[in-house]
Structures are given as C-alpha cells and as structure tokens.
Structure 1
C-alpha cells in the first residue's frame, strides 16, 4: 500500500504549483499571449502543461504549509516575478505604439483615434498599425519562444523561495526611460523631416501671406508624413530586431543571467 506523509504531499504539490504561479504571471502580461483576445483558459492550460513538464527537473521547492500566510506570500512572489519578466517585453512592444503616436502628432493625425479593446483606451491609428507590425515581427523572430525559454531558465537562475527584493528592481524602472528613448530614436528621422516641411510652410506663409497655407499645408504635411512612414519601414526591421535583442537580454540579466 502506498503511504505518503503530509510533508511529501506538500512537496509534491509545490513542485508543480510554484512554477505554475510564475508562468501564469508571465503569460498574463506577455505580449500576444496576454492579449484580451486570447482566452484565459488557453493561458491556464499552457501554464499548467509547462509546469507539469518542468516540475520534476527543477530544484526542490521550499517546505511551506499550503494553508499558511507564508504560502500566500510565496504565491504572490512567483506571480510578481513572472509579471516583471513579461513587463520587459510589454515595454518593448509599446515602443512601436509610441513611435506611431509621435509620427501621428507630426502628421496631424493625432485626432484620428481608434478604441483598443485590449487596453480599454484610444490610441492613434498609426500607433495601432506599428503595434501590429512590431508584434508580428517579434513573433517572426521567434522572440516569444526565447522569452518563454528565459522564464524557464528563471527557475534555475532564481529558484522559488529566493525572494523578490533582491532582484535589480531599479533596472526594471529604468526600462521605462529606455522605452521612450528607443521610440524617439526610431521616430527622429521622420520628426526632423516633418519639421523641415513645417518650417518651409512657415517661410512660405511669411513670404506670401495671400496664400491659404492652412488649406495647402495640411494635405501636403499628410502626404509627406505618409512618405516618411513608407521610408521608415525600410530600416525598421533591423532596428527593431536590435531593440528586441536588448529587451530579451535585459530580461535574462534581471534574473541573474550573464550576457
């Protein structure tokens, strides 16, 4: 007859439960997998299957009473660790949204908004286009597979029970500034080109006040803006690939990995 003690049952359950919590926290926030159109059932089943496969290969989990406050805190830690790992990728994806917003403001399309059911907010149409392009490019580069691999490696580099406050949290905060800086660097050529166009119409308005610059300048600015968008796509894949690589590398270093 098979006899198991309460300690053995607790350890057996913890072998699968703690990885499941971290994976679920990552899948809730991770781009594409965390989208509102992906059913929660799919994320739960994916996290459960991965936890079942990874559990026997991971270091032994800490002995924690499953009905104690320590277990609740440990669950919260694992969810937050997975959440923060996926946040690196979310910031990387939103670089493209900021890029589209900056270019829309220069083109005069800032008023053209579309409701995003995923975030519950309205964003420029151009930002939505760049967001879809960045997501598809990230998937084409197998970035989602690399990201899942980093989450799996986190169980070895940062085992369950090691805590959350020892993580380089300031490095995660600095990624917000990196997001704005990366978006600005991508949008800088188009912003400068549109600035030259606006300066040209400003000089034209001063030299020929009789011309209706507003009726002439808006469509010309729109045409030049669309031309800038077209030209931006020529070098955008290479630059965005570097941004994806930086985000994945930062995600790996966040859990103690060496570059």
Structure 2
C-alpha cells in the first residue's frame, strides 16, 4: 500500500507529473484563466498519482538521459494540448469571418478565459461550443487522451522528431482548422454576400438612396436572423469539430509513438 514511498519510483512519477502538467497548460478548457491555479496543480498531481499505478513503470534513474526524458514529456504534453486548442480555435476564426461581414470587426471583446481579444460572434460561438463540450462529457475524453497517451508513447521512449510525417500532419491540421472555420461561417457569410449584391443593385437603380446608411443596419438585422436559424446546424458542426479534435490528438500520439 505504501509502495509510493519507494525512492526508486520517484523518477517515473515525476515524468508522469511533468507530462500531465504540461498537458493542462495548453489543453482547451483546462488551460483557461478562469480555472484557479491551485486546482490545475492539484488535479495534475492526483491524476499523475492515479496514472502511476496504471502505466508500465520501467526502472529509471537520475542521469543525463533523465533530463532529455523530462524535455520529451514537456513537449508531448504541450503539443498534444496545443493541437487540440488549434482545432477548437476554428470557432473563433469563423466568428471573425462573420464579424468582418457584419461590420463588427472593430468591436472586439476581451476573452476572460484566455485574456486575448476575440470577435463578438466568435466569442458567442465559442461559449456555446464549450457548453456543448461539457454537456457531452468532452472534458472527460480530453483527460482520457492523456491517460491513453502512454499506450503510444511509453515513459522511457523518445519522440522520432526526424519523422517528416509529423510536420506534414501539423500542416494538415492547420489546413483543417481553416476549412472547419469556413464551413461554420459560410451560411452567414453567404447570406451577407447576397445582401451586398442586393445593395449594389439598389445603389445602381436608386442613386438617391444612401446605401451606406441603410446597408449596415440591414446587414446586422439579416445576420441576427440567419444566426437564429443557423444555431441548430451549428450544434452539428460543433459535434464534428470535437470529433475532429479528438481524432487529431490521437493521430498525433500515434505519430509520436512511431506508428
């Protein structure tokens, strides 16, 4: 029962703790400022404590290679969480596309979760996506991802950074993020494009009408009506977004493991 006190197990436990802590630094939802730092440290410690008894624990000693193992664990945790954050950032990029067409591009708000400025519609979509993630226990799946990472990348294994497929995979993930953002924004942006075409026709047929005065409130009204009908479709797109995020994280783990 008190095998944890064995000093020979301390290097393995520290490696697990480093990976879990680095994972929570960049992971969506768990890395936000609104979550207290003591909670992040506590959940990292207790999760590493539980995982210590579930993963294979080879004999590791403190030497020069141990420093490389620590660096490797930090990189794994940061990159896995970062790739998930990149995919879910497609929501805010889509909101930026919509805000630009609505005329809200200049009216950014400060995101209290990340401390960065974000578009209004993007923040609205992002909150809905996070609530949907929590409602389907997606945060449990994120934690399950770091637990299953040891099936692909053992504690004493190194990452094959010379593998060119890892770089290609990251580039494809960036490409996928913009494609998802375009899919989310295209219904609203398409409606606003038709409004711009209609206003252009009106400006040519009725020169006395000031299109710039009428166009901005009209585009805002059309945008809100389109958003009202778009919400049901957005939930489906958010579900596909989270599926893509989990699949991307798993594929990156497989590449790190040399699969």
Output the TM-score relative to the length of structure 1. Answer: 0.89
Whether the 8 Å contact between 1:150 and 1:252 is mirrored in structure 2 is yes
Query: Do the aligned residues in 2 keep the contact of 1:88 with 1:248 (CA within 8 Å)?
Result: no
- Offset from partner CA, 1:35-91 (integer Å, 9 cap, x none): 0121222111111111111112211235231xx442222112111101111123212
Residue 93 of structure 1: how far off its partner (Å): 2.1
Distance (Å, rounded) in 1 between the aligned partners of 2:136 and 2:167 = 28
1:51 corresponding residue in structure 2? 48
Q: Which moved more, 1:158-167 or 1:210-219?
A: 158-167
How many Å separate the matches in 1 of 2:109 and 2:244? 30
Which residue, 20, 28, 32 being the options, matches 1:31?
A: 28
One of 106, 123, 126 as aligned partner of 1:131: 126
Structure 1 residues 228 and 194: CA distance shift in structure 2, 3 A: same
In the alignment, what sits opposite 2:143?
148
SS at match of 1:61: coil
Contact 1:31–1:89 (Cα < 8 Å) also in 2: yes
Out of 185, 188, 197, the residue aligned to residue 186 of structure 2 is 188
1:94 aligns with 2:89: yes
Q: Residue 176 of structure 1 aligns with which residue? A: 174
Is the contact made by 1:25 and 1:79 (CA closer than 8 Å) also made in structure 2? yes
On the 8 A contact 2:166/2:252 being kept in 1, the answer is: yes
Mapped partners of 1:55, 1:234: distance in 2? 42
Q: Is 11-20 or 119-128 further displaced after alignment? A: 119-128
Counterparts of 1:123 and 1:248 in 2: how far apart (Å)?
24
Give yes or no for the alignment of 1:214 onto 2:209: no
| 2:89 counterpart SS class | helix
Alpha-carbon distance, 1:241 to partner: 0.5
* CA-CA distance at 1:117 after TM superposition: 4.3
Following TM superposition, by how much is the alpha carbon of 1:170 offset from its aligned partner in structure 2, in angstroms?
3.0
Contact 1:14 1:61 in 2 (8 A): no
Q: What SS does the corresponding residue of 2:118 show, helix, strand or coil?
A: strand
Alignment coverage as a number of residue pairs: 248
How many angstroms apart in 1 are the aligned matches of 2:207 and 2:34? Answer: 53
Q: Which runs of 5+ in 1 are unaligned?
A: 1-7
Shift of 1:227: 1.3
Aligned residues: CA RMSD: 1.9
Q: Is the 8 A contact 1:106 1:225 kept in 2?
A: no
Partner of 1:72: 67
Aligned equivalents of 1:245, 1:77: Cα separation in 2: 27
User: Structure 2 length as normaliser, TM-score?
Assistant: 0.89
Of the candidates 243, 247, 255, which is equivalent to residue 249 of structure 1?
247
The reply to whether residue 21 of structure 1 matches residue 14 of structure 2 is no
**Structure 2 CA distance for aligned equivalents of residues 39 and 24 of structure 1:** 14
More displaced stretch, 170-179 vs 45-54: 170-179
